Structure formats: structure tokens, C-alpha cells
Amino acid sequence: MTTSPKHFLDIHKLDAKTVREILDLGLAIKNGPPDKRLEGKTLAMIFEKPSTRTRVSFEVGMKQLGGDAVMLGGKDSQLGRGETVADTARVLSRYVDAIMIRTDDPKKLIELAEYAEVPVINGLTDSSHPCQLMADIMTYEEHRGPIAGKKVAWCGDGNNMAASFIHAAGRFGFSLSLAMPSELGLSADVLEWAESEGVDFSVSESADEACSDADLVVTDTWVSMGDADADKRHKLLQPFQVNDARMALAKNDALFMHCLPAHRGEEVSASVIDGPSSVIWEEAEQNLHGQVGSHGWCFVLNEQFQQRFFNYLPDRGA
Ligand code: NVA
């Protein structure tokens, strides 16, 4: 009998215990001795959009654990010539042990997961970026302790990162104040999910209000990969820039994060992103450990690999 693989598609599709387990796993591997528990295992990485951090951190993460990674570009694989995602999923499942995909339409991610016989990991779609959130939560907690009950401010576009922040607020128990122009707001399904789950969040058009008393201030590029309307976005998002005045409204020990790539002088001033509150380089490094947690977790929870990772799971008692 075959069991369906467990995927890492989005934070809100997993329960709070499981997402915490992924973080614990990433941290345990980060802080533990070198190990090669994924020896002989291969991850396929499909990139239909550009990547620096996700690509390198997934590949290095696999190699650090003794495995390997194979990269497929959207244009230079048969996907770019019209082979279906379903057929690609069926074929890759015969070669590799897990598949990561970065793509535009989240429906492709869902189709991949539906037809793959191995775990699928979301490496970003237009709708969400869950792996980055795992890195962000790890980074915050390494600096300041548990994020539960803290206030996080999001200033900017209601994009894939903002959606994953709402999902994470629900699963990790922090309060999220989002400031964004109504024209670039979050999609109705994200808001409906958050309301139905009782997530502690608010949406306004005031970046000052969002940043007031915040423990963590976050922003992202004004023009995400695939966005065509750059001029309009610049005009709409200018009032949401994170700068010294905004950081001064946050708590004295507030941190600043950005998933990168950043545009100094646009969504964030150079004084903030290169200043003392910023933990962007640790956050970027944490992609590696978060990714290791995510693909490690996919192997852990998928029966055939459980024994390989068993010793990494921290003992939580009975
Ligand atoms: N919102 C950005 C995130 C990049 C990691 C984008 O989708 O381009």
C-alpha cells in the first residue's frame, strides 16, 4: 500500500505543532554536529522565476546533509515547451526524492503536489512564500525569544510575503499589523482564512500606526517578480517606506527584516536596512537552516525516511 506524501505547500495548510516541528528540526540540524542523513537522496528544484537565496540555500542544504539537488529552469526544461505539470510530477517522482518549485500561479504548485509521489515544497508562488517565513521566525526567535504574543508590523504591498506573514501569525501566535494601500491589498481568500481562524491581525493604510510599539518591522520590494505596473506601484507604495521615523515609533529593541532583494531608498531607507536594528544578513543565512528544516521535515514525516531523521527531533517529553 502506498501512502500519499506529506508536502510543505503553505504554513496555514499545516497545524501549529507541525510548523513548530519544522523550525525545531532546522535549528537542531543547524546547532548539531555535521551529519549526512540524506545521503543518496536527491531534490529536484524547478525555477520558473529568478532566485538567489532560495536556490543556493536549498542546494547547499541538501549537500550539507549528504544529498544532492538538481536544478530545472522553467525555459530549459520541457515545462517551457508545454509539458504539463502533472506529467512532470509523474516523471520526476521516478528520479528524485522530493521536488521544490518556484513558480507564478499557485495552481501549478497544487497540481505538482497532486500528481507527485514524493514530497513537494513551495519555493515561492505569486500567492505565498512559506519557506522565507520559517527563516524569518527562526531569526526573530534566535534574537529575541518566542515570537508568540509579539507585535509584527508589515509595511508595503499585500503580496506573497504579506500573505505568508498572515498565515504565520495564525500558526505562531503573533499579532500582525499590516499597512498597505487599498489598491494593493491582500486577496479575499487570505483575509477570509485569517478571520475564520481568529488570527490577531489588522489592516490599515497607516504605516505609522502599524509600526507603533512593534517588536518587528518588515517590508518587501514594491515590485515583485512578474509585476508589470512598476510606476503605479512606486506611487502607491511610497507612503509606506520604512525609515528612521517609522522605526522610532517601534519598540526600542525592535528588529527590522526584509526577505531581499532590497531597494534602498524605496521600500526601506539605507539607514534602516544597514542600521543597528536590521538583521537581514542573519535572516538570509537562516534560509539555509529553514530550508534544511523544510526538506528535512518532508523526509521525516514521509514514512520511508523517518528513521534517518528520527534522532534529530528534539525530545518534547510525553
Ligand atoms: N515579493 C517578492 C519576494 C522575493 C523573495 C517577489 O515575489 O518577488
Per-residue model confidence as pLDDT tens digits over 274-304: 999 999 999 999 888 877 777 666 665 554 4
In a domain, 314, yes or no: no
44 and 138: one domain?
no
Length of the chain: 318
In a domain, 140, yes or no: yes
291 vs 46: which has the higher pLDDT: 46
31 and 156: one domain?
no
140 and 152: one domain?
yes
In a domain, 162, yes or no: yes
In a domain, 308, yes or no: no
80 vs 159: which has the higher pLDDT: 159
Ligand 1 geometric centre to CA of 221 (Å):
7
Residue list, ligand 1 pocket, CB within 6 Å: 129, 159-161, 220-221, 224-225, 259
Residue 224 has a pLDDT of 98
Under the banding of pLDDT at 50, 70 and 90, the label for residue 306 is very low
In a domain, 72, yes or no: yes
| Lowest-confidence pick of 104-108, 176-180, 305-309 | 305-309
Alpha carbon 115 to its chain centroid, in Å, reads 23
136 and 202: one domain?
yes
In a domain, 318, yes or no: no
pLDDT (mean) for 68-86 = 92
Residue 293 has a pLDDT of 74
Q: Is 278:229 a contact under the CB 8 Å cutoff?
A: no
pLDDT (mean) for 247-266 = 98
168 and 260: one domain?
yes
Atom of ligand 1 nearest to the CA of 223: 8
Query: Which structural domain range is residue 257 located in?
Result: 130-282
What CATH number is attached to the domain comprising 264?
A: 3.40.50.1370
Ligand 1 geometric centre to CA of 105 (Å):
14
103 and 166: one domain?
no
pLDDT (mean) for 252-260 = 97
Interatomic CA distance for residues 244 and 265, integer angstroms: 12
142 and 120: one domain?
no
How many domains does one find in the chain?
2
193 and 260: one domain?
yes
Question: Which residue owns the Cα nearest ligand 1 atom 2?
Answer: 224
Q: At what angle do helices 16-31 and 130-144 cross, to 10 degrees?
A: 70
Ligand 1 geometric centre to CA of 226 (Å):
9
Interatomic CA distance for residues 208 and 200, integer angstroms: 18
Residue 300 has a pLDDT of 52
| Lowest-confidence pick of 58-72, 179-193, 201-215, 285-299 | 285-299
Question: Which residue owns the Cα nearest ligand 1 atom 7?
Answer: 224
In a domain, 273, yes or no: yes
Confidence check: pLDDT of 130 > 70: yes
